[in-house]
Amino acid sequence: MLRDQNARSLMIEILERKDVADEEAMQFFLSDLAAFNDASEASILRSGPLAPEEVPHVPAACAAKAVGEQIVAKFREDRRNRVQIHAAVLRLPQVSTDLLITLNDPVSIDPESSSADAPVPVESAEAILAAVLRSFRIADWGLFG
């Protein structure tokens, strides 16, 4: 997980392939993430497929992206923040794996949250995720057994 000075975090998860249809994968992963984060509200703002040129170095059978939004508390505080989740899933059936890449982008922070002093992000989260996807490579396929 990478964090920047703006309280954003980028996570890349290597997961056993989930038994969900490709067209339902983003809904599945964002719902699972909302449940894990104990989100009081969660929605998907937009979703769609990733074109091969958006992920040029990974031969995914299915690649999709989405932007979701959650109302969550950091560190299980009682103060809740609005966070957008910019996500991509790369489905690799040849190695029974789903790669989930998420970038958490705070939208509004409760003034009494422990994150209240974090600077407001300037660079677009969509641009950051797009750059990550364009440069993403699997250097050693042996990682998957």
Q: Which pLDDT does position 115 carry in this prediction?
A: 56
3-state SS assignment for residue 129: helix
Closest CA to 118 of 77, 81, 70: 81
Condensed to tens digits (0 to 9), the pLDDT of residues 4-58 reads 445 788 999 999 999 999 999 999 999 999 999 888 899 999 999 999 999 999 9
Q: Are 99 and 77 in contact (CB under 8 A)?
A: no
Task: Report all structural domains of the chain as residue ranges with CATH numbers, in order of start.
Answer: 2-139 (3.40.1000)
Is residue 81 predicted with pLDDT exceeding 60? yes
CA distance 95 to 58: 13
Q: E strand or H helix at 16, and its extent? A: strand 9-16
Average of pLDDT values for 69-96?
85
Give the DSSP letter string of 51-100: PGGGSTT---SEEEEEEEEEEE-GGG-SS-EEEEEEEEEEEEGGGTEEEE
Q: Which pLDDT does position 121 carry in this prediction?
A: 57
Spatial neighbors of 51 by CB under 8 A, at least 6 apart, are none
- Reported pTM: 0.86
